Structure 1
């Protein structure tokens, strides 16, 4: 694998081969299936978050009774729905850059599974956060909205940090990953799994703030899932990622300040 080959990076869609187009279609079909499954699996008490302004007595904000196992399962399905469209160009790019011969399908499967394993681990943390939010709701809608505003402010600030920029650069392109770990991915399922997990780690580092916003808005709300998934995809695909990231951060900060100062904008009257 030469540096000239590495320099091509993620190929333009117009340059994709039929096999690469079929691979992209398969990943997008899996994502569409995951969206349908998410709508089926989502429980009513997971569609509204602390930013909804709902009263703790409303059915949608009842104490979350779902166990950790079911939550993580639903979380992984949701992550597949949200992340597979954004990770498709990466998968096509690394397939082209790594000469895997007959092991191509195994490598692609390993990359995808490794990616989702990391997000499964993130789901355990997300479960603890949602249970914390569930306790905050009991303090009243005004308090819960202000707590949600703090989440928006934290996520907005993170958009401007060097760590966000560092993770985003690596999440957008397979070049650095392939230069260091491409041969490992081509050796077998274990190597591909490890490289996929590494890419998933970059993605978690890039997107955790946006995921926290999703948890606060309604972890299984299809509307908020679509909004956050669109923002993640835009950050990964459009040129000038720093500008996009900063615009998103400014929007989050503005919304956070507004809701912290005036929680009545969404808080239910007592």
Structure 2
């Protein structure tokens, strides 16, 4: 006789099909990121200047693979680094679903809204990086990095960590229930906009930390792994307050040390 499943064992926190899919998406993102890193190490890319970038977007006569390659790196990096920190929000949503306030389809629609914002961010950072390369502020794949962008970006990231706006963003990142309670729309539309709103607060929280990849290298797996751990830790309700502010001090100190010993 087949034994029935213990309802206490089969809970929303045990990986159902959507959780298997989510964890596979995270693993695939990191795998692709790793393969991107291997490819770039053997085939370094010299990116076009800003005029060529704009041309690639408006004319079929321009070659646009450099833009798409760089966007792909930013997009995969955003998914690999930010989806793990989105898991607690999905846990909260699953708890709400168990009370009848959500749906299984809503799980993925919520994720779609979240991912949409980060892909828009990836486009933005792609344009910014190519523009900075065209101004010789950042090097292309073959060049050497100037010390001043490193100092400035670490300093800005550190100051931002200590700002009140960062604290406000972390409030929502640490308490996603606040976003779900504030949603005005119902159904899948509401889930999509909730994903967008949560990603917006998450972007406000992690913008400068992610931007550090401009100077540390998009395919620096060790650095991205460290940043992912930091992002996850500072969003934990109890532990996060012991991570965010000290991290700001460390970033500022790093900036000053680099400038002093350049």
Pairwise CA distance, 1:126: 0.9
1:207, 1:258 → 2: CA distance? Answer: 23
Judged with a 3 Å threshold, the aligned counterparts in structure 2 of structure 1 residues 98 and 158 are, in CA distance, closer, same or farther, namely same
1:17, 1:205 → 2: CA distance? Answer: 36
1:27 and 2:28 aligned: no
Q: Deviations over 1:149-183 (max 9, x none)?
A: 110000000000010000011011212101111x6
Judged with a 3 Å threshold, the aligned counterparts in structure 2 of structure 1 residues 132 and 153 are, in CA distance, closer, same or farther, namely farther
1:171, 1:16 → 2: CA distance? Answer: 28
Pairwise CA distance, 1:129: 2.8
2:73, 2:216 → 1: CA distance? Answer: 17
Q: Deviations over 1:69-103 (max 9, x none)?
A: 33333322222211121111111102212568596
Pairwise CA distance, 1:41: 3.0
Judged with a 3 Å threshold, the aligned counterparts in structure 2 of structure 1 residues 231 and 161 are, in CA distance, closer, same or farther, namely same
2:19, 2:170 → 1: CA distance? Answer: 21
Alignment counterpart, residue 148 of structure 1, candidates 150, 154, 158 = 150
Question: What residue in structure 2 maps to residue 38 of structure 1?
Answer: 33
Question: What residue in structure 1 maps to residue 46 of structure 2?
Answer: 63
Instruction: Tell me if structure 1 keeps the 8 A contact 2:129–2:138.
Output: no
Judged with a 3 Å threshold, the aligned counterparts in structure 2 of structure 1 residues 232 and 138 are, in CA distance, closer, same or farther, namely closer
1:187 and 2:215 aligned: no
1:115, 1:63 → 2: CA distance? Answer: 31
2:138, 2:187 → 1: CA distance? Answer: 50
2:126, 2:89 → 1: CA distance? Answer: 28
Question: What residue in structure 1 maps to residue 113 of structure 2?
Answer: 114
Question: What residue in structure 1 maps to residue 222 of structure 2?
Answer: 223
Question: What residue in structure 1 maps to residue 199 of structure 2?
Answer: 200
Alignment counterpart, residue 171 of structure 1, candidates 170, 173, 191 = 173
Judged with a 3 Å threshold, the aligned counterparts in structure 2 of structure 1 residues 27 and 70 are, in CA distance, closer, same or farther, namely same
Give the secondary-structure state (helix, strand or coil) at the position aligned to 2:47: coil
Query: TM-score under structure 1 normalisation?
Result: 0.76
Range 17-26 or range 126-135, more displaced = 17-26
2:207, 2:219 → 1: CA distance? Answer: 16
Gap regions ≥5 residues in structure 2: 1-7, 49-64
Pairwise CA distance, 1:24: 4.1
